[in-house]
A and B are shown apart, each in its own frame.
Chain A
């Protein structure tokens, strides 16, 4: 067996779909060049959409509106519960309603820069263009965005930018946008255009003659494993942050759909690009099952500080002003508390590593609203952040109006994902990936309020335009059914995997493995990474995997509602994906965005990119469990936003 770290480098991969020419004309050009499917023929085409979050929900609804027959899946009991619902802060759009100098080009620029120059210019520019339409679409659907007294939409500013372009619905923007998409989807379900399978989880991808033709999915209530067929498959299954066990993801968010697609031939790009969100509620003990985010919007008015002295255990109000270190304001005077997420997170880690952290275990920093309350009055603070404050109080039993909040970074989002071209198609023809499931638009770091923008851009506007081209160019030649030998094979593999999980009958629970893997990943592939650490992790992961298959205990049977079986099966995939993440992190010996290699930093501790060597997206090809994958590089060309060392000082 080859050591996993001994990967090989294959042919470069290139995005062949983005047209050349001025960046602002590319999307129009692509849409014009794309072949269309005659409206009358659309109902003959079936498209599978996996996931009902912002990307999946909006895609399913829009494809159905266009006349396609959509079969849609979600593991939740209702499409309305997809984890997009938990996004708090807002959604960016280059509307320039504030007249503060915003423009499509500036949003494009901010996003490329914020992503530390590891995103594709064409995609990001398209995202910025579409952002404007998204707001129109959502308002038309009845999304109750915050408004000013004149009845017009309100906006606020967010980390990493100096304009106010974030539209919001109190602290529940994700919820409101998701409900908008869910309602649009519901309309199509009622119209019979979408066939929804709730509580049904995709377990594998069916690829026939090199094209994605369907999926294997398990009905989580009856346990029945079934096959579903289509002319194209769209994965909108979200990110894989749950690999860290503790993250802000939903408990059941998982990587199975994308990982199974990867195993069937879809390249996985930049798996190590993980976003650690700076403002989460610190953990309280080993029982912790998940971490809760406090919206980044809090950094608009809250000030982050730690005591100047190490090991200062005085309660915050007893620490006089001149003994406090407002370290973000000190190090980054022009952006202050609003620096991008990766920078804010790392700064918090640094001060805690110095021994100046606060709260139990010293794993926290203060986010203080005393000044804001003095300046705006308690009422105004309450109106802006009331629900977040309530949530904080409920979880910590501390009143943030009186005592500063304690926050600490936590895994929040994964910029990496399935590699897709400009059309959002993966390397498996007919397989598309949208939203957080793909790697596309955020480079090495995502700006706040951009995930919602990307999910909806992909689902409402991009995919519905590009999928036509694939369907038109690949008219269906044969019908696939359950009797096809490939289908039989994939189905049998899935059943075998579940049966094996059930038959080991060992002495460790699924959660115990998940927790162990998560701790390992957080330690070695978290906020700061080193070659030694990553090599250690790469050595350890196969051992955990081996132990997993020896000692896992899954009670019950596969023919019933069995949440332990669901969990265990997801861990199987995490145990492989973890290895790829560490390898990707190891091979990328530069620091960029959320990926911080301690070996590569500037004298003052900032991330140091190595553009000469690493100005590419790393797309990995699967070769087998535990065997070294093949790296395909997609060179990134910057014609408009020239890479510079990011400076937020």
Chain B
């Protein structure tokens, strides 16, 4: 396959960026999208040019590092992570636009690499259960109904890649935040911090400069792990419940 790539190049956070055009040839349909970029980078290095910087690590769809907007879609045309996208999803002769996640809360570090530490700070604000090591009761002391355990798992699957923010027209982080809130709030272990968790995490989400939710639904469509849009509805419910309870205290 022969392809034309238009790639966002930006030297560093402060520099102006622009799209640059590259041609790549000899691409196999079995290659992953990132392997295609590896091929381009090998050529660029040998030509003495700066290779395209992009985040990637596990390349098996679980670490959440890879983060490319391909032809306007976060993670590209398939519902998966960029690293699990294969070139068979494209056709010979295609022109492919590759851009970084774009959101004020995710400033560009270089080329296609962005800073997603805002997500870490949202978790730090309350996305945990306070259970110091050694203090845990016997695991079977508290049974968890299977539907609740499954619900928790479904939300815990979030890989923190940020595709939801990248796809959201408002650069909102509601799906990410709600996934963690729902994971922990449904479990009996998470109940003691149920209210503070949702209030603090939402407050941190706002403080990071993410936009608000207009329920456009783009986040859930882009999510490689299939976190449902209903996750946001549920967090809203948790938030209102917590606000009411806080008001009564």
Assess whether B139 is in contact with A139, with CB atoms less than 8 Å apart: yes
Assess whether A293 is in contact with B60, with CB atoms less than 8 Å apart: yes
Q: Does A133 sit at the interface, judged by CB under 8 A?
A: yes
Assess whether B57 is in contact with A140, with CB atoms less than 8 Å apart: no
Cα–Cα, bound, A285→B36 (Å): 13
Assess whether B133 is in contact with A65, with CB atoms less than 8 Å apart: yes
Chain A residues near B124 (CB-CB < 8 A): 186-187, 189-190
| B107-133 contact mask (Cβ, 8 Å, vs A): 1 or 0 | 001100101110110011101111111
Assess whether A172 is in contact with B157, with CB atoms less than 8 Å apart: yes
Q: Does B190 sit at the interface, judged by CB under 8 A?
A: yes
Chain B residues near A460 (CB-CB < 8 A): 133-134
A186-B123, A189-B124 are contacts. A509–B63 as well, Cβ < 8 Å? Answer: no
- Which of A78, A153, A176, A555 meets B45, CB within 8 Å? A555
Assess whether B42 is in contact with A83, with CB atoms less than 8 Å apart: no
CB distance from B14 to the nearest CB of A (A): 12
CB distance from A195 to the nearest CB of B (A): 13
Residues of chain B in range 157-204 having any CB-CB distance to chain A below 8 Å: 157, 159-160, 183-184, 187, 189-190
Assess whether B55 is in contact with A186, with CB atoms less than 8 Å apart: no
Cα–Cα, bound, A507→B47 (Å): 9
For A, the interface residue count at a CB cutoff of 8 angstroms equals: 81
Assess whether B156 is in contact with A176, with CB atoms less than 8 Å apart: yes
| Most chain B beta-carbon neighbours within 10 Å: one of A79, A97, A140 | A140
Residues of chain A in range 56-86 having any CB-CB distance to chain B below 8 Å: 58, 61-62, 65, 76-83, 85-86
Residues of chain A in range 163-222 having any CB-CB distance to chain B below 8 Å: 169-170, 172, 174-176, 179, 182-184, 186-187, 189-190, 198, 221
For B, the interface residue count at a CB cutoff of 8 angstroms equals: 77
Query: Which B residue's beta carbon lies closest to that of A97?
Result: B140
- Which of B51, B64, B183 meets A564, CB within 8 Å? B51
Chain A residues near B28 (CB-CB < 8 A): 284-285, 287
Residues of chain A in range 66-120 having any CB-CB distance to chain B below 8 Å: 76-83, 85-86, 95, 97
Q: Does A604 sit at the interface, judged by CB under 8 A?
A: no
Q: Which of B143-151, B228-236, B237-245 contacts A (4 or more CB under 8 A)?
A: B143-151
- Which of B11, B53, B123, B131 meets A137, CB within 8 Å? B131
| Most chain A beta-carbon neighbours within 10 Å: one of B28, B78, B136 | B136
Q: Does A322 sit at the interface, judged by CB under 8 A?
A: no
Assess whether A561 is in contact with B133, with CB atoms less than 8 Å apart: no
Apart from the given pairs A179-B156, A560-B12, A564-B45, 9 other A-B contacts in the complex at a CB distance below 8 Å: A79-B120, A81-B63, A83-B63, A142-B190, A186-B128, A251-B56, A287-B28, A397-B88, A553-B48
Closest 10 CB pairs of A and B: A151-B143, A183-B128, A140-B136, A140-B131, A190-B124, A144-B153, A136-B136, A144-B152, A284-B30, A139-B139
Can you give 26 contacting A-B residue pairs, CB < 8 Å? A76-B65, A78-B117, A78-B119, A140-B137, A140-B189, A142-B187, A151-B145, A151-B146, A152-B143, A153-B140, A183-B123, A186-B123, A186-B127, A190-B124, A190-B125, A221-B109, A284-B28, A284-B30, A289-B38, A391-B61, A394-B61, A460-B133, A464-B133, A556-B50, A560-B110, A563-B53
